[in-house]
Amino acid sequence: MNDAARLRTIENVTANFFFWQGLRWVPLGIALMTAALRPRIEVGLLVLIAAMFVSMRVGKYYSRAYGRVRTITARTERRERWKWSFVYPMMMVSLAVDLLWKPPVVVSGPVWAAAILLYWNSTGRGRLHYLFIAAIVAATGALPLAGIPNGKNAINFFFAVIGAVYVIGGLLDHFELTRIMRPVMEDGDAGTV
């Protein structure tokens, strides 16, 4: 990789640094897989709270190891607007369709796969595993054709897949981040980029 390409890669990573901190996503993936097993509500809430706590602690690790990055709001404003006004609502609508109307395919599969591709595109690309992950998530649309009835059963299986995606994608994100950037030793204000 030449210097200009390496600089572009580092710029993409630092501009989207939060999203490249893959180990943050692993405990949330475990919580989603646990939720897919339909534990008692208090167990599910306890796992979710623990996952959020661990994810925040992992964030502190990334701050210590790689420093902090100040987000340039103008650079992420468009992504945030699209994410909150279109992508997330479509994801929720797809879940409602699957749970309430039980169509012959799991609509959430291709809708969430499209959201993953948009996420990949808007966070600097570079992590090619998201292309494979999107294909796997899209394939969950065929769960009813594989004998898993749409509705609660298919959505529970779907969330198990999404949880596995968080774990595997998170680990791969972390490996990709460590390949591109090396940890820094803070002295004074050197940890802020």
If we measure between CA atoms, which residue out of 37, 156, 147, 48 comes closest to residue 108? 156
pLDDT tens sequence across 38-75: 888 899 899 999 999 999 999 999 999 998 888 888 77
Q: Which two tokens stand for residue 81?
A: 């607007």
DSSP symbol at 192: B
Question: 75 versus 155: which is more confidently predicted?
Answer: 155
| Interatomic CA distance for residues 188 and 193, integer angstroms | 12
pLDDT tens sequence across 71-97: 888 778 989 999 999 999 999 999 999
Query: Over 70: is that where the pLDDT of 160 sits?
Result: yes
> Which pTM value belongs to this model?
0.89
Question: Can you tell me which residue has the tokens 């009835």?
Answer: 149
Arithmetic mean of pLDDT over the chain: 91
